[in-house]
Chain A
């Protein structure tokens, strides 16, 4: 791309006041000394002027009083209730949605359990194990173990034998063989 092509791409933004001061100066200097680029600038200005003058003339004929009367009549027309509610919902400021949004969030958290059971709670809850909170073996020996791979919880009650202590966890004869 040569210098003129680069400058001609910038003439529009320059005329629109969108270039920074350094770029403005660069374009202004070049246009001042380049007939082709000066012609390009003049064409843009001519198009803008033609478009503007036509539309400004048209718009000047639009009187406000009849415009407002028609608009006011339309605004005052009674509207069906569902349109009123729809407009209220659509035009309500964002802050009006804060309370319902908060309620919806609380509801979602509250009902989360129903869809994702065990998402909170202790390790046992999350892991799906059955948990034993208390045991009373009435003087007998009892063992409790959990097997992680199969998530198995076992309470094993040993047969009452003479002289056996409640808290002993020694391998009993009647117990499982592991």
Chain B
């Protein structure tokens, strides 16, 4: 009986410590308060040969599109609550609405809607790595070129 008590008291002590630590870790990982979404609005075209220095960090990815000219028009970040949504103004009467859905395996699921004059152009559900690579959404024409939107997210 004494031996059993010794087993139990030791197990209980370490269980309490472990569970406390587990709760702390779980809280840190599973319930982020909001997501910081960053949308970059880039104008791409073949009218000139320029590469905006502000886009240096994503040059390799953008060059995939094989345009000659890349210019950053706007870079905006907003904290978007889980299950909530926020809209980003895009040139040409357009708007990009982003709604974070889920955070799992260090990836963020987002619902994204692109509208033009309140008409939906595109609805998509994507998952992006937390603080990781961008997703690019391109196609809407603008001022002789084409708009490319870079989308990235980071849990807060």
Q: Are A and B close enough to touch in the complex, i.e. CB under 8 Å?
A: yes
Per-residue CB contact flags for chain B residues 117-145 toward chain A (1 = under 8 Å, else 0) read 00011111111111011111111110000
With an 8 Å Cβ cutoff, the count of chain B residues facing the other chain is: 53
Establish whether residues B10 and A100, one from each chain, have CB atoms under 8 Å apart when the complex forms.
Answer: yes
Residues of B within 8 A of A155 (CB): 122, 124, 135-138
User: Is B10 within 8 A of A157, CB to CB?
Assistant: no
Give complex CA distance A89, B17 in Å: 15
Contact partners of A113 in chain B: CB under 8 A: 29, 105-106
Known: A129-B133, A155-B138. A89 touches B126 (CB 8 A): no
Asked if A96 and B127 sit within 8 Å, CB to CB, the answer is no
- Asked whether any CB of chain A lies closer than 8 Å to the CB of B7, the reply is yes
What is the interface of chain B mostly: helix, strand, loop, or mixed?
mixed
B144 CB, nearest partner CB in chain A, Å: 12
Whether B135 pairs with A137 at a CB distance below 8 angstroms is no
Q: Give A84-139 interface residues, CB cut-off 8 Å to B.
A: 88-89, 92-93, 95-97, 99-100, 103-104, 106-107, 110-111, 113-114, 117-118, 120-121, 124-125, 128-138
CB of A132 within 8 A of CB of B124, answer: yes
* B28 contacts the other chain (CB 8 A): yes
- Give the residues in chain A near B44, CB-CB below 8 Å: 176
Interface size of A in residues (CB-CB distance below 8 Å): 52
* Complex A-B, nearest 7 residue pairs according to Cβ-Cβ distance, in ascending order: A100-B14, A117-B106, A157-B139, A130-B135, A103-B18, A99-B11, A176-B65
B51 to chain A, nearest CB (A): 15
Contact present for A159 and B141 (CB under 8 Å): yes
- Shortest B113–chain A CB gap in Å is 9
CA distance A43 to B105 in the complex (A): 76
Q: Does A39 contact B (CB under 8 A)?
A: no
> Which B residues are within 8 Å of any A CB, using their own CB?
3, 6-7, 9-11, 13-15, 18-19, 21-22, 25-26, 28-29, 44, 46, 60-61, 64-67, 105-107, 109, 114, 120-130, 132-141, 146, 151
The prevalent SS among residues of A at the interface is: mixed
Q: A88-B10, A155-B137 are in contact. List 19 more A-B contacts (CB 8 A).
A: A99-B11, A99-B15, A103-B22, A110-B22, A114-B28, A118-B105, A118-B107, A120-B105, A130-B132, A130-B133, A131-B127, A138-B120, A138-B122, A152-B61, A152-B134, A153-B133, A154-B137, A175-B139, A178-B66
